[in-house]
Amino acid sequence: MTCREMVEFLMAWLDGELPEDQRAAFEQHLALCPPCEVYLETYKEAVRLGRKVCHDEDRDAVAEAPDELVQAILAARGRPGA
């Protein structure tokens, strides 16, 4: 599995929807690719912060979001197809 494929399968893996062979390939890739492991942890944190902002009465999660993450999200919104 390539890094690009790992990103494509990320949501299905998080939702527990990958078939066994794809799940094994995904997890093997993560075990061998530190950058993808970091990407996964960053992604999980972004999801956690997003949920906190959308669902908590305490809206201070925005203050917890790293500026680099906010800038990356804003930059991605400006791309065609985003």
39-73 pLDDT tens trace: 999 998 988 888 877 775 555 555 677 888 888 88
Domain boundaries, the chain: 3-77
Checking if the pLDDT of 74 tops 90, the result is: no
| Distance, CA of 17 to CA of 14 (rounded, Å) | 8
**Could you tell me if 37 and 30 are in contact, meaning their C-beta atoms sit under 8 angstroms apart?**
yes
| Distance, CA of 82 to CA of 76 (rounded, Å) | 6
Residue 68 CA to its chain's centroid (Å): 15
In the chain, what are the helix, strand and coil shares in percent, each to the nearest 5? 75, 0, 25
Confidence band, pLDDT 50/70/90 cuts, at residue 25: very high
* Beta carbons within 8 Å of 69's beta carbon, 6+ residues apart: 42, 46, 49
| Distance, CA of 23 to CA of 74 (rounded, Å) | 31
